[in-house]
Amino acid sequence: MNKRHYIRNSSQDLRLFRWFSAKQCALPTPKMTENGLGHREKVLNMNTMNPNVKRVEYAVRGPIVQRAVQIEKELKEGVKKPFSEVIKANIGDAHAMGQKPITFFRQVVALCAYPDLLEDNKFPDDAKNRARRILQSCGGGSLGAYSASTGIEVIRQDVARYIEKRDGGIPSNPDNIYLSTGASDAIVTMLKLLTSGEGKTRSGVMISIPQYPLYSAALAELAAVQISYYLDEDKCWGLDVSELRRAVEAAREHCKPRALCIINPGNPTGQVQSRQCIEDVIRFAAEERLFLMADEVYQDNVYAEGCQFHSFKKVLFEMGPEYSNTVELASFHSTSKCYMGECGFRGGYMEVINMDPQVKLQLTKLVSVRLCPPIPGQVLLDLVVNPPRPDEPSYATFIKERTANLEILAEKAKLTEQIFNTVSGIRCNPVQGAMYTFPRLTLPEKAIAAAKEKGQAPDMFYCMKLLEETGICLVPGSGFGQRDGTHHFRMTILPATEKLKIVLENIRAFHKRFTEEFS
Amino acid sequence: MNKRHYIRNSSQDLRLFRWFSAKQCALPTPKMTENGLGHREKVLNMNTMNPNVKRVEYAVRGPIVQRAVQIEKELKEGVKKPFSEVIKANIGDAHAMGQKPITFFRQVVALCAYPDLLEDNKFPDDAKNRARRILQSCGGGSLGAYSASTGIEVIRQDVARYIEKRDGGIPSNPDNIYLSTGASDAIVTMLKLLTSGEGKTRSGVMISIPQYPLYSAALAELAAVQISYYLDEDKCWGLDVSELRRAVEAAREHCKPRALCIINPGNPTGQVQSRQCIEDVIRFAAEERLFLMADEVYQDNVYAEGCQFHSFKKVLFEMGPEYSNTVELASFHSTSKCYMGECGFRGGYMEVINMDPQVKLQLTKLVSVRLCPPIPGQVLLDLVVNPPRPDEPSYATFIKERTANLEILAEKAKLTEQIFNTVSGIRCNPVQGAMYTFPRLTLPEKAIAAAKEKGQAPDMFYCMKLLEETGICLVPGSGFGQRDGTHHFRMTILPATEKLKIVLENIRAFHKRFTEEFS
């Protein structure tokens, strides 16, 4: 393992690495028997493959989820378990947890996919008008044509208007909008652009700990340096500029810090940043000469009293030209979260501000190699940024569906916090926003020793046992990063309310049993 | 420019590079004026950005297409031109050129997007059954849920059955199928896995010249070594093993050759490989210890008398266990080409054969970081591999539509070859398959000098002039690679027959004028 990627938090990373290595070593390297071509190893094997890919980890779909899928198969095959179904609270996948799509969105997608339906009286006029407008901007009037690599032009215009409205009129230029295959695609593309240098001039990228593991995975793949800054669990996972400064100063000895990534509202931590905090971060980025990446895919998911979403773009522009003309910013949004939860369509966009025009040409060239983001995802995104207006027939239903989805999420956020905080040994910050809780676990020494014995992180050991005993699939905190010696898990708040109550009760009971077993 | 990427063909690459460099230098690096934060350059600028990205080139959407888009805008704004529309024959985008979607495919997509339509009498039962089956395998019965990162399981099963049927019963295991975001995604993922080493141990990947520039772009981005082997224009763009051997032997001095990429039917060259040739290639890969990558996205696009598509998988297995148990192969397919042309859905798959099981785990981990391929694209792919059966109500229409699309393509392939070969100074091989012709141009010395003057490749100069004078957008041969001193362009055969005739006549007239002007 190349140590330069691990400026902090190395013991934990090492632990995880050992776990993965142990798994890998469990499979013997196959040696072929003699044949006409002689002895042969595989051309592509663990020794010849890309070493950066080996370093990639992505816990949200890691070993625990693979085990969950196995268990589901076992249940289907009639294997007896102490539970009847696997509940996947590991991933922010609203529809999989029973949330229904927004009717208007799907009507328009269906009309675009099969335009014969434009003759059908069952569809409202606003859906038809929307579909016609989109189809007119598609090559040959078909979703089957490629679009421009940056996305369909009218959709980029709609995105710009959406941003302007969201940010109280601050202008947005469609030429700064790049549509993407979910937000992940655009985030990886930006990180790719930012990666250069060797040794001590290697690009360093600051990411929060805990973080969403897309970031660490992409940095590992690109062999860029991960610079970890810690969120303050005791201050509701708040971000403190002095911690950013500590991290960047330590990192300068090993690499060239170039970018600062922020997730707001937070994943996996669920905090919502205050306006003041965002200002501080922007000032820090300006002083330290860092490219800002603002992951704002949960921008509609704000539940807590007194909390409000502020976009980095808006705050940046309100800080005046000294900042708004200089600080380089890319912000990201997606169709996958918020009230719509359309993960499967892989829609998203990025807005870039103050990007070097020559680099922008390079970015456009780079995205053109993959031709274009999927058109159905672009259509979905268009509907998200341009939903029914008050004077349109679908407006009332749209507002009803959107409000209901967000209210239920707010209710579940509250419920989760309340129930977890009744459990001795689980401590949970308020879920101010996003879709996750990241509670802290107090684990008995004997459990930690038992985990060590197995070569597992203690919270991986805990979550595996929880899965085997209850069918509940969570992601261990070690998959997101956490302060050494602390243990957490990430759970989505997405199961339907009645099911969520059962899940929470089952975790409570499990935690009690677990604590007793290892005490 | 890092020379190690250019084992052959360096003078041409240098020429192209100069062209791009000239463009880049045309934009001044912006220097910010003094402000509260002092002088500042951009954090992310041409000096700090990823140097591998700078090296990427993708001519199919390169400068000529950007100019075509500009001209379209100018036409809209009323600027007078000697033509009334831009005809984009630069990219294999069937729907944009007026080909209609397959009715059944779009009915099923609409039903899946908006399942209320399952109650609608207007849809045939087989479309409804197909939609129900797909929705049952989606999380929460919605296209909006993530799928497994390798794709929806029933679709992977359908793909395996499709491959078995195509290959006369040779078994295919769904566990070897990875769904992807178009074929490009899977190809880049495989190249990523294959890239390792430094200096003389750096991975080398063999690609044909001419090639589809996704390959050179991905290799540049990954800083892998491109090993060029030349197709034989005089033998209808045939592939000769002695040329493969020459290329690999020369490359061993600079890098570690690890993979051999084949595009069959050929892009941009339109040739269809014989069974014998494929056997020779497989034997060569086995002897030289190369991982085989077979890009077979045009597998239904075979037009020429006596030509037939043979999959690498089938030939490999027919060669017996000495090969079928050892040679590592990844083959690629897509929803974007063939008779359906559904590029916008970004559907595709890859089948891996004889892959090291540990590497397969790494591959699965790697694709999980991007969560999943777009679900609408997965649905489209399912319909391609599992179209209406003879006993189903949609069968007759499906067959009629498919046959019509393929017959028209065959007709246009013939027409293109015939007309081009009447032009003095254009020589064109038969378009045996795929969707392109790659004719060779004889250009006057004065034209070559004029191009040099402009820092352009001669065929770029030619194509730019063609675009300005006729509105026809082609891609210069230099964007695909060609033997030094030869000049080509790639043109799709996709415009509607009547329009294609006009395009061909206009190119004929232009070529005559061009030749006269520079003689």
Nearest CA in chain B to A219: B369
pLDDT of B241 > 90? The answer is yes
Distance to chain B for A258, nearest Cα, Å = 7
Looking at chain A, which residue has its C-alpha nearest residue B57?
A365
Q: How far off is chain B from A98, nearest CA to CA, in Å?
A: 5
Mutation target to probe the A interface, by most A beta carbons within 10 A, among B66, B149, B365, B475 is B365
How many angstroms separate the CA of residue A139 from the nearest CA in chain B? 4
Place of tokens 């507002």: A399
Contact B258 A145 (CB under 8 A): no
> How many angstroms away from the CA of A188 is the closest CA of chain B?
9
Beta bridge partners of A238: A232
pLDDT of B354 above 60:
yes
Per-residue b or e along B379-396, where b marks 16 or more CB atoms closer than 10 Å to that residue's CB: bbbbbbbbbbeeebebbe
Residues of B in contact with A60 (CB under 8 A): 368
What is d(CA A281, CA A269) in angstroms, rounded to the nearest whole number? 18
What pLDDT score was predicted for residue B370?
85
Q: What's the pLDDT at A50?
A: 92
Does domain A59-98+399-517 bear CATH number 3.90.1150.10?
Answer: yes
Give dist(CA A428, CA A276) in Å, integer: 24
Every domain of chain A with CATH number 3.90.1150.10 lies at 59-98+399-517
Name the 3-class secondary structure at A406: helix
pLDDT given at position B369: 87
Interatomic CA distance for residues B496 and B405, integer angstroms: 11
Chain A residue whose CA is closest to B283: A37
Neighboring chain A residues of B139 at a CB cutoff of 8 Å = 93, 95-96
Whether A193 and B53 lie within 8 Å, measured CB to CB: yes
pLDDT at A260: 98
| Best mutation target, A358, A375, A401, A494, to test chain B (most B CBs within 10 A) | A358
Q: Write down the residue that tokens 């398959």 correspond to.
A: B433
At residue A76, the pLDDT reads 92
> What is the dihedral angle through the alpha carbons of B369, B375, B380, B386, rounded to the nearest 10 degrees?
90
A12: amino acid identity, one letter: Q
Q: Which residue does chain B place closest to A257, by CA atoms?
A: B43
**Mean pLDDT within B276-286:** 96
- Judged against a pLDDT cut of 90, whether residue B439 lies above it is answered with yes
Question: Using a CB-CB distance cutoff of 8 angstroms, which residues of chain B are in contact with residue A286?
Answer: 37
- Neighboring chain B residues of A95 at a CB cutoff of 8 Å: 139-140, 142, 144-145
pTM: 0.91
For the segment B130-151, the average pLDDT, to the nearest whole number, is 96
- Token reading at B265: 């039917």
Q: Do B106 and A98 touch (CB under 8 A)?
A: no
CA–CA separation, B238 vs B232, rounded Å? 5
> Which helix (H) or strand (E) segment is B209 a member of?
strand B203-209
Residue numbers in A near B146 (CB within 8 A) = 91, 93, 96, 343-344
On the CB side of B33, how many CA atoms lie within 13 Å of its CA? 3
Query: How close B217 gets to chain A, by Cα (Å)?
Result: 7
Distance CA A177, CA A332 (A): 10
**In whole angstroms, how far apart are CA A299 and each of A308, A388, B184?**
9, 19, 31
| Distance (Å, whole) CA A443 – CA A456 | 14
A80 DSSP assignment: -
Q: What is the pLDDT of residues B74-120, one digit of tens each?
A: 999 999 999 999 999 988 999 999 999 999 999 999 999 999 999 99
Tokens of A258: 């170039």
Q: Identify the helix (H) or strand (E) that includes residue B12.
A: helix B10-26
Instruction: Return d(Cα B182, Cα B261) in angstroms, integer.
Output: 17
Q: Is the pLDDT of residue B20 over 60?
A: no
pLDDT of B19: 34
How distant, in Å, are the alpha carbons of B138, B158, B337, B380 from that of B131?
Answer: 11, 14, 23, 11
Query: Phi, psi (5° rounding) for residue B57?
Result: -135, 140
Point out the residue among A53, A120, A291 whose CB comes nearest to the CB of B44. A291
Residue with tokens 């100063």: A249
Of B49, B60, B101, the CB nearest to A362: B49
Q: Given CA atoms A333, A336, A341, A342 in this order, what sign does their dihedral have?
A: positive
Do the Cβ atoms of A346 and B374 come within 8 Å? yes
Q: Do A142 and B326 touch (CB under 8 A)?
A: no
> Is residue B23 over pLDDT 70?
no
Q: Which residues of chain B make contact with A138, given a CB cutoff of 8 A?
A: 344
Which two tokens mark B202? 């750096």
In 3D space, the residue among B9, B68, B57, B41 whose CA is nearest the CA of residue B468 turns out to be B68
pLDDT digits (tens, 9 = 90+) for B176-220: 999 999 999 999 999 999 999 999 999 999 999 999 999 999 999
Name the segment(s) of chain B with CATH classification 3.40.640.10.
149-385
* Whether residue B12 has pLDDT greater than 70: no
Binned at pLDDT 50, 70 and 90, residue B39 comes out as low
| Subunit contact A56:B106, Cβ cutoff 8 A | no
* Minimal C-alpha gap between B234 and chain A (Å): 30
Q: Which CATH number applies to B149-385: 3.20.140.10, 3.40.190.10, 3.30.700.30, 3.40.640.10?
A: 3.40.640.10
Find which of B343, B378, B401 to mutate to test the A interface (most A CBs within 10 Å of its CB): B343
Sign of the dihedral through C-alpha B11, B12, B16, B17 = negative
A-chain residue closest to B30, CA distance: A356
Which of A184, A358, A372 has its CB closest to that of B24?
Answer: A358
Interface test with B, best of A369, A381, A382, A397 (most B CBs within 10 A): A369
User: CA-based angle B308:B312:B316, to the nearest 5?
Assistant: 120
Q: Which residue of A has its CA nearest to B146?
A: A344
| CA nearest neighbour of B23 among A343, A362, A428 | A362
Chain mean position to CA B265: 11
Q: What's the length of chain A?
A: 519
Sign of CA dihedral B317, B318, B323, B328: negative
Is B184 close to A140, i.e. CB distance below 8 A? no
Radius of gyration of chain B (CA): 24
Measure in Å the smallest separation between the Cα of A336 and chain B Cα atoms: 8
Residues of B in Cβ contact (< 8 Å) with A29: 356, 358
Residue A123 has a pLDDT of: 96
Q: Are A379 and A108 in contact (CB under 8 A)?
A: yes
Of A114, A344, A362, the CB nearest to B110: A114
Residues counted in chain B = 519
CA neighbor of B176 nearest in space, from B59, B332, B48: B332
| Residue A112: both structure tokens together | 């675009």
Choose the closest CB to B98 out of A95, A140, A358.
Answer: A140
Nearest to A357 among B27, B145, B344 (CB): B27
pLDDT band of residue B267 (cuts 50, 70, 90) is: very high
Query: Average pLDDT of B231-237?
Result: 92
pLDDT of residue A515: 95
Dmax (CA) for chain B in angstroms is 76
Return d(Cα A350, Cα B38) in angstroms, integer.
28
- CB spacing of A344 vs B375 below 8 angstroms: yes
pLDDT in tens, B65-84: 889 999 999 999 999 999 99
Contact B56 A369 (CB under 8 A): yes
Which secondary-structure segment (H or E) carries B180? strand B177-181
Residues of chain A with C-beta less than 8 angstroms from the C-beta of B57: 365
- Select, from the ranges B15-19, B140-144, B364-368, the one with the highest average predicted confidence (pLDDT): B140-144
The answer to whether A479 and A508 are in contact (CB under 8 A) is: no
CATH 3.40.640.10 residue window(s) in chain A? 173-375
Cβ-Cβ pairs closer than 8 A, A with B, add up to 333
How many of the other CB atoms lie within 10 Å of CB of B322?
13
ipTM of model: 0.90
**Residue B32: pLDDT band with limits 50, 70, 90:** very low
Q: 3-state class of A475 per DSSP? A: strand
Contacts with B138 from chain A: Cβ below 8 Å: 344
Q: Shortest Cα distance from B110 to chain A (angstroms)? A: 4
The hierarchical CATH code for the domain A173-375 is 3.40.640.10
Q: Are B239 and B246 in contact (CB under 8 A)?
A: no
Q: What is the DSSP string of A49-71?
A: S-HHHHH---GGGSHHHHHHHHH
Task: Using CA coordinates, name the residue in chain A closest to B119.
Answer: A122
Query: B57 falls in which pLDDT band (50, 70, 90)?
Result: confident
Distance to chain A for B140, nearest Cα, Å: 4
> Using a CB-CB distance cutoff of 8 angstroms, which residues of chain B are in contact with residue A321?
35
**pLDDT tens, residue order, chain A (519 aa):** 343 333 333 333 333 333 333 344 334 444 444 344 445 799 999 999 999 999 888 877 778 888 999 999 999 999 999 999 999 998 899 999 999 999 999 999 999 999 999 999 899 999 999 999 999 999 999 999 999 999 999 999 999 999 999 999 999 999 999 999 999 999 999 999 999 999 999 999 999 999 999 999 999 999 999 999 999 999 999 999 999 999 999 999 999 999 999 999 999 999 999 999 999 999 999 999 999 999 999 999 999 999 999 999 999 999 999 999 999 999 999 999 999 999 999 999 999 999 999 999 999 999 988 889 999 999 999 999 999 999 999 999 999 999 999 999 999 999 999 999 999 999 999 999 999 999 999 999 999 999 999 999 999 999 999 999 999 999 999 889 999 999 999 999 999 999 999 999 999 999 999 999 999
**Structure letter (DSSP) for residue B238:** B
Report the gap between the CA of A495 and the closest CA in chain B (Å): 11
- Please indicate whether, in this complex, the C-beta atoms of B342 and A144 are within 8 angstroms of each other: yes
